[in-house]
Structure 1
Amino acid sequence: MIFTHKPVAGDIQTVLERRYLELQEPIPEDTVWLDLVRPTREEEVKVESFLGITVPTREEMKDIEPSELLYVEAGARYMTGRVLSRVSDSEEPGLAGITFILRDNRLITVRYEEPQAFRMYTQRAGRATGNGPSRTVSGESILAGLIEAVIDRAADVLQLQGERIDRLSRKIFEDKGDPSSRNNALQDTLRSLGRHGDLISKQRESLVSMERILLSLSATYRTAKAPRELREDVRSTLRDLQSLEEHATFISAKIQFLLDATLGLVNLEQNNIIKLFSVMAVVFMPPTLIASIYGMNFKTMPELDWHFGYPAAVGMMVVAAVLPYVFFRWKKWL
């Protein structure tokens, strides 16, 4: 998919015209953005010959070394970041590697997934770009808009996760009364917290990768004396991103607190069960002792000849069972 200039009559502003390019079609000279989605080797060779660059492979995009993510080669600037996306081979959201390449005022993006942020930006890119009537389209401005869309999407994800975690927090600390349903609810809560924690950690990793790209762009634009509007956009986006990172850290800390609280409640429930068994053992220990004594088959046992021996033994067992129970209730251990 490519985006080319499309001037608006009577206005300095330029919008983007989106086209799906077939392999046999030549790439127009006025192309400002080439979006390679799951490119084949033939498509990569076509772009490489047109721009004189090397398109990174999917395996190269998975590297974690900073030198492999941010570098300059043959006059082109390569920047690889990770964006939260629903990975095609999994039902759970994952991190999709995306490479941004700036060359001769053109932007090339290489990706193998469909992040929601890209769909949002490409849908509105065909209508208008820029923040004012004097803004013209360039690879740098498109890159800034894409990163801004990624950050906006990250803000939506963090807000939604924050609301879900607040609901879980109220659910954890409310008293349900029924121990069996309470245990099941706590187990479900642990699983939910684990899923939310995993999603927040992935989102924070995505923000960190975007921050590296923005810091690199900021340093480049400062030394290259880029247009003031572009530098202001990068600085503003970087401030928003750092604010979201702090919010993601806060949510992660809250999830950790809720995990500790849930595990503590699970331990309390287990302790209550163990305490019940301990109390039952103490309550039945004296009656068992009495029954064991009078169950011995010794010939000389005076109580065996008593007329009221059996009622007396049963009475002693009942009293021996009731007294510990009353004592535990008096101590408020039950």
Structure 2
Amino acid sequence: MIFIHQPAAGAGQILLDRRPLDLQDPIPDDTVWLDMIRPTREEDLKVEAFMGIQVPTREEMKDIEPSELLYVEEGARYMTGRVLSKVSDSEDPGLAGITFILRENRLVTVRYEEPQAFRMYTQRAGRTTGNGPSTTTSGETILAGLIEAVIDRAADVLQLQGERIDRLSGKIFEVQDDPSVRNTALQDTLRALGRHGDLISKQRESLVSMERILLSLSATYRTNKAPRELREDVRSTLRDLQSLEEHATFLSTKIQFLLDATLGLVNLEQNNIIKLFSVMAVVFMPPTLIASIYGMNFKAMPELEWHFGYPMAVMMMVVAAVLPYVFFRWKKWL
């Protein structure tokens, strides 16, 4: 599917007009952004013929080498980044590879997922904003707006995860008297920490890939002496992104602390169980010794034919079991 975006004006100032393009229809000359979503080979050839570029395949977009993600070919600049997608309670979060291709005054995006950031940007870019001049009329400004939307979405995700981690932190250190409830809560906490840690890790990876793109754009704009406003926007976006990276690192550190604390509480629960078994072994050790002595049945044993021998042995075993228990309770080991 190919969506084309053209500057348009109406009852107010509309930034971009977005509509799908049929395969048999020609691409208008005033198109500033071609958004390719899960493109077919025929759609690739159509855009390649119009733009004079090579559209990368899905496998090429998965490459992790920087030289394969950021390069210039035949006057077109190719930039591939990772954007977080499927961020919801019912789906596992994933990283979607997105390729941005800049050539002259046009932008081409190639993607196989539907990140929330793209929906946010297209809705905002197609909104009426009064009679002010449009600022989203070139590929460079559209690219800057898309990256800004990705960063805004990343900020929302990190803020939401921070709030969830704070609530989880309170539950971890909450006193629970019921051992079964406490054990179940600790297991649920470990799973939740794993999910939050995975999401934040992927979000940070996405921010790092966007930072590479911004650094590349900054160097290019500085060399080509791009408009000052565009260079300032890139620098400002880069500062915001780096601050989000620091926040993601902080959240990762906090998750690691909570994970260590939870594992420590799990170890304490295990130690309590082992301590209980150890105490029971010590409690029953003296009675076992007494029973072993009087179970040997030697002829010369003085108590063997004594009328009160059996009650005495039972009483000695009871006392030998009670005394260690009382001692442990007095020392507050139980």
- CA gap of 1:134–1:115, structure 2 versus 1, over 3 A, is closer
Q: Which residue of 1 aligns with 2:181?
A: 181
State the 1:321 CA deviation.
0.8
Q: TM-score, with normalisation over the residues of structure 2? A: 0.95
Which whole-Å CA distance do the structure 2 matches of 1:37 and 1:96 have between them? Answer: 12
Matches within 5 A, 1:1-334: 1-7=3-9, 15-86=15-86, 91-127=91-127, 133=133, 135=135, 137-334=137-334
Which whole-Å CA distance do the structure 2 matches of 1:138 and 1:82 have between them? Answer: 23
Which whole-Å CA distance do the structure 2 matches of 1:298 and 1:235 have between them? Answer: 95
The superposition leaves residues 177-214 of structure 1 with CA deviations (integer Å, 9 ceiling, x where unpaired) of 11122111111111111111011000000000000000
RMSD, aligned α-carbons: 1.7
AA at the equivalent of 1:76: A
Which whole-Å CA distance do the structure 1 matches of 2:98 and 2:155 have between them? Answer: 19
- Number of equivalent positions: 329
The superposition leaves residues 61-115 of structure 1 with CA deviations (integer Å, 9 ceiling, x where unpaired) of 000000000000010000000000029xx93110000000001110000000000
Alignment partner of 1:56: what SS? coil
Alignment partner of 2:80: what SS? strand
State the 1:330 CA deviation.
2.0
Structure 2 unaligned blocks of 5 or more:
none
Which whole-Å CA distance do the structure 1 matches of 2:275 and 2:142 have between them? Answer: 65
State the 1:305 CA deviation.
2.1
Structure 1 unaligned blocks of 5 or more:
none
322-331 vs 77-86, greater mean Cα deviation: 322-331
AA at the equivalent of 1:86: K
The superposition leaves residues 146-167 of structure 1 with CA deviations (integer Å, 9 ceiling, x where unpaired) of 0000000000100111111111
Alignment partner of 2:8: what SS? strand
Alignment partner of 2:175: what SS? coil
State the 1:229 CA deviation.
1.4
194-203 vs 301-310, greater mean Cα deviation: 301-310
Alignment partner of 1:208: what SS? helix
Q: TM-score, with normalisation over the residues of structure 1? A: 0.95
Alignment partner of 1:102: what SS? strand
Contact 2:16 2:136 in 1 (8 A): no
Alignment partner of 1:305: what SS? coil
- CA gap of 1:160–1:196, structure 2 versus 1, over 3 A, is same
State the 1:136 CA deviation.
5.2
Which whole-Å CA distance do the structure 2 matches of 1:236 and 1:157 have between them? Answer: 20
